[in-house]
Amino acid sequence: GAVVSQHPSRVICKSGTSVKIECRSLDFQATTMFWYRQFPKKSLMLMATSNEGSKATYEQGVEKDKFLINHASLTLSTLTVTSAHPEDSSFYICSANPASTGEQYFGPGTRLTVT
């Protein structure tokens, strides 16, 4: 099946710093990718829809200036958590779907810990 990778898998950073997370579709092109956030023992919550070549669409309550999304190519979307705080510590997961299919393929996730 389609493969989506994320990098890094785990990152620890200090409060106030910014962290970039990459999401790549390895064997297919994705005009749309999705970013989710998952708190411990909770479900996934959609943060934003990343659109190649245009601005991301953010869900209600998600600060677009804090969570910067760039989708510069058909195989790469990046999520930058700016001025990170401990409450941003979470599991961030991206997904993408090959064109014309409904199935979404998920990356392995990035565990962010802000100290």
Partner 1 sequence: SQQGEEDPQALSIQEGENATMNCSYKTSINNLQWYRQNSGRGLVHLILIRSNEREKHSGRLRVTLDTSKKSSSLLITASRAADTASYFCAYSGAGSYQLTFGKGTKLSVIP
Task: Locate 74 and state its tokens.
Answer: 């058909």
DSSP state of 83: S
Footprint on residues 12-71 left by partner 1 (CB under 8 A):
32, 34, 36, 42-46, 49, 59
CB 31, min distance to partner 1, A: 10
The smaller minimum CB distance to partner 1, of residues 18 and 101, is found at 101
Of the listed pieces 15-23, 61-69, 76-84, 90-98, which binds partner 1 according to CB under 8 A? Answer: 90-98
For residue 83, give the nearest of 33, 35, 16, 26 by alpha carbon. Answer: 16
The yes or no reply on residue 104 touching partner 1 (CB under 8 A) is yes
The yes or no reply on residue 7 touching partner 1 (CB under 8 A) is no
The yes or no reply on residue 92 touching partner 1 (CB under 8 A) is no
d(CA 76, CA 32): 10
CB 64 within 8 A of CB 49: no
d(CA 83, CA 19): 8
The yes or no reply on residue 106 touching partner 1 (CB under 8 A) is yes
